[in-house]
Amino acid sequence: MSKVYSVAVLVGSLRKASINRKVALALADLAPATLSLKIIEIGDLPLYNEDIDVNPPASYTAFRQALGGCDAVLFVTPEYNRSVPAPLKNAIDVGSRPYGQSSWGNKPGAVISVSPGAVGGFGANHHLRQSMVFLNVPMMQQPEAYVGNAGALFDDAGHLSEKSKPFLQSFIDAFATWVEQHKK
């Protein structure tokens, strides 16, 4: 039997009705058997502050342990003001410390940005990639995933539209291959 890789899924929106969260759950359903996706919550992480990290809050420690225990990471995020939403950037910063003990290193990663707008969160997608280069996370290049007009992704009952399924399927299948190739 082939190995099953655990994937930490970080959702950049904290709101209950988040389209990005729905996309994350849809990807978990579509994922091939070699990937096990699990959302790691980021909403209760205090804003990163080196002073409080001298005695880290329990939420920092739990987040670092959860992330560190996973083989790979998947970001599903909206764009806020053409960049990464603050809660997600905060989670990236929390995971990167204490200095020399980053929880990110060498985990294969991917990002899918999702927006009701036409540009599909391109700015957030690439700003996030910039941080991940520094944190030594090899990010999947293709397929790029800028999902625009996201209001049409789900019907009133919350089901993913048939039209959207093939792209999300190709994205998560490519990520499974990426993880196998890059996981050391």
Decide if residue 117 touches ligand FNR (CB under 6 A). yes
Decide if residue 158 touches ligand FNR (CB under 6 A). no
Q: How near is the Cβ of 52 to ligand FNR at its closest, in Å?
A: 25
Q: Which residues contact 172 (CB under 8 A, 6 or more apart)?
A: 27, 30, 31, 32, 35
Q: Is-contact 35 27, C-beta < 8 A?
A: no
Decide if residue 45 touches ligand FNR (CB under 6 A). no
CB atoms within 10 A of CB 49: 10
Decide if residue 15 touches ligand FNR (CB under 6 A). yes
Of 35, 60, 70, 78, which lies in the binding site for ligand FNR, with binding defined by CB under 6 A? 78
Q: How near is the Cβ of 14 to ligand FNR at its closest, in Å?
A: 8
CA proximity to 15, closest of 80, 74, 73:
80
Nearer to ligand FNR, 4 or 86 (CB): 86
Q: How near is the Cβ of 116 to ligand FNR at its closest, in Å?
A: 5
Decide if residue 102 touches ligand FNR (CB under 6 A). no
Q: Which residues contact 92 (CB under 8 A, 6 or more apart)?
A: 84, 104, 128, 131, 135
Decide if residue 80 touches ligand FNR (CB under 6 A). yes
- Residue 111 and residue 100: Cα distance in Å, rounded? 24
